[in-house]
């Protein structure tokens, strides 16, 4: 297949590019390099040293003989260029990662909120409008998030995207209805992914676009089979308070002897998936495209659930790290349960990598190797969901 990976320079985008190229697909990277600009804005850098995207592509060609093509393009702003690109290359599939993906970054200030909404919603809508306009019948695979469901602890398993409900009509008869699972996003970032769902529903129904939405959990790990093949193919690794995600943060904190930063009681239960499984899921989803006219296919892309404090205690037990229970900068349920259905990927052959397999050492090894690059001042999470929470975090960092 000819595949365009939108956002192919990012944390999950880059390993996906390599995985698909390794399978023999012709892979194009479309990216505006915004993630690298945001590093500059925040004054942080990936724990792992990253080469330019052009250099990364050159190394991959040297190592494997397979070419990657990079196109510098801003999907939210360069609509006409993207449309022209689609007509020139006529891809079979588009994988859409091209969104600002950090919840804390999206809540920093009103500027960050509007940037996240403008960037994410425009990028998604531009992709859909261009596909409909050009008539290019590509399969669109989008990286969504488990966070669209919210964490309401009703004690029922979260289905894969859709909910069967019963409503009473005017004659008093009970009628069945299938609806998108009601969204309850917990940040502006998660809100944009909830909005994306409505855009997908509309374009699938109106223009027969073939769309898959992957509701992904929190990714941990850093390597995949392909990123290990050469030092300069290494993936980016975020540890800072805005972009670092919880388990990877705990692992690097343990490696540098920094007390593990649990927000609140740590009673938040979240869904997780290893990076290697993410890229495998994308491959499985690509091969299982919906037909034109079908509803959007939604998968829950996660493999296990964990409570934040249990993760911290587990890592403390393994490494001897201390655990710090801190004021929570986020407005979120202090405690929640989470049961998630993920039968579709399991039935397609996903064999999940779990935490219990000792793979966490992979991250600790990376953290130890590059510990000299860590700026300890960038570890605390300071972006607060409200002004009041911000003041509390400032008083007791």
- Residues found near ligand USQ in the complex (CB under 6 A): 101-103, 145-147, 216-218, 245-246, 249, 261-263, 266, 268, 270-271, 308, 328, 330, 332, 381
Which residue number, 127 or 246, has a Cβ lying nearer to ligand USQ? 246
Q: Is 116 a catalytic residue?
A: no
- C-alpha closest to that of 135 among 203, 214, 213, 212: 203
Mapping DSSP to helix (H, G, I), strand (E, B) and coil, where does residue 392 land?
helix
Q: Tell me the closest approach of the beta carbon of residue 45 to ligand USQ, in angstroms.
A: 18
Q: Which of 116, 145, 245, 261 is catalytic?
A: 145
Report the C-alpha gap between 149 and 163 in whole angstroms.
11
- C-alpha closest to that of 379 among 256, 271, 267: 256
Q: Is 193 a catalytic residue?
A: yes
Which residue number, 126 or 145, has a Cβ lying nearer to ligand USQ? 145
Which residue number, 30 or 262, has a Cβ lying nearer to ligand USQ? 262
Which residue number, 245 or 344, has a Cβ lying nearer to ligand USQ? 245
Q: Any idea how long the chain is?
A: 397
Q: Tell me the closest approach of the beta carbon of residue 154 to ligand USQ, in angstroms.
A: 17
Q: Tell me the closest approach of the beta carbon of residue 184 to ligand USQ, in angstroms.
A: 11
Report the C-alpha gap between 128 and 199 in whole angstroms.
8
Report the C-alpha gap between 118 and 376 in whole angstroms.
32
* CB burial of residue 155 (10 Å; 0-12, 13-18, 19+): exposed
* CB burial of residue 251 (10 Å; 0-12, 13-18, 19+): buried
Q: Which of 79, 193, 203, 245 is catalytic?
A: 193
Q: Tell me the closest approach of the beta carbon of residue 354 to ligand USQ, in angstroms.
A: 17
Q: How far apart are the first and last CA of the chain?
A: 50
Q: Is 331 a catalytic residue?
A: no
Q: Tell me the closest approach of the beta carbon of residue 180 to ligand USQ, in angstroms.
A: 16
Report the C-alpha gap between 331 and 5 in whole angstroms.
33
Which residue number, 17 or 278, has a Cβ lying nearer to ligand USQ? 278
Q: Which of 79, 189, 203, 258 is catalytic?
A: 189
Catalytic residue numbers, as ranges: 145, 189, 193
């Amino acid at each position: 297949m000819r595949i365009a990976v939108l956002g192919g320079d990012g944390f999950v985008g880059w390993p996906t590019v390599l995985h698909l190229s390794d399978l023999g697909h012709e892979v194009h990277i479309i990216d505006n390099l915004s993630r690298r600009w945001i590093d500059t804005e925040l004054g942080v850098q990936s724990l792992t040293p990253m080469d330019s995207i052009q250099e990364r592509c050159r190394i991959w060609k040297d190592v494997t003989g397979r070419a990657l093509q990079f196109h510098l393009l801003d999907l939210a702003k360069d609509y006409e260029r993207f449309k022209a690109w689609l007509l020139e290359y006529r891809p079979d599939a588009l994988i859409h990662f091209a969104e600002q993906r950090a919840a804390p970054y999206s809540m920093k200030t009103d500027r960050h909120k509007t940037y996240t909404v403008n960037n994410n919603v425009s990028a998604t809508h531009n992709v859909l409008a261009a596909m409909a306009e050009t008539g290019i019948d590509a399969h669109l695979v989008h990286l969504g998030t488990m966070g669209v469901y919210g964490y309401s602890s009703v004690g029922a398993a979260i289905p894969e995207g859709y909910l069967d409900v019963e409503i009473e009509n005017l004659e008093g008869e009970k009628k069945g209805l299938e609806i998108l699972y009601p969204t309850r996003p917990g940040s502006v970032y998660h809100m944009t992914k909830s909005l994306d769902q409505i855009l997908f529903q509309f374009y699938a129904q109106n223009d027969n676009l073939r769309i898959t939405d992957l509701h992904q959990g929190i990714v941990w790990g850093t390597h995949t089979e392909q990123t290990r093949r050469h030092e300069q193919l290494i993936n980016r690794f975020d540890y800072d308070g805005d972009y670092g995600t919880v388990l990877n943060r705990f692992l690097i904190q343990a490696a540098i002897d920094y007390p593990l930063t649990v927000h609140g009681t740590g009673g938040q239960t979240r869904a997780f998936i290893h990076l290697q499984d993410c890229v495998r899921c994308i491959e499985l989803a690509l091969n299982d495209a919906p037909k034109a006219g079908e509803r959007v296919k939604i998968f829950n892309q996660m493999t296990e659930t964990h409570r934040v404090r249990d993760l911290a205690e587990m890592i403390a037990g393994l490494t001897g790290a201390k655990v710090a229970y801190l004021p929570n900068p986020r407005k979120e349920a202090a405690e929640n349960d989470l049961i998630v259905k993920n039968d579709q990927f399991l039935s397609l052959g996903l064999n999940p990598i779990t935490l219990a397999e000792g793979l966490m050492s992979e991250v600790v090894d990376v953290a130890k190797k590059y510990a000299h690059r860590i700026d300890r001042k960038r570890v605390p999470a300071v972006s607060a969901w409200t002004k009041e929470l911000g003041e509390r975090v400032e008083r007791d960092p």
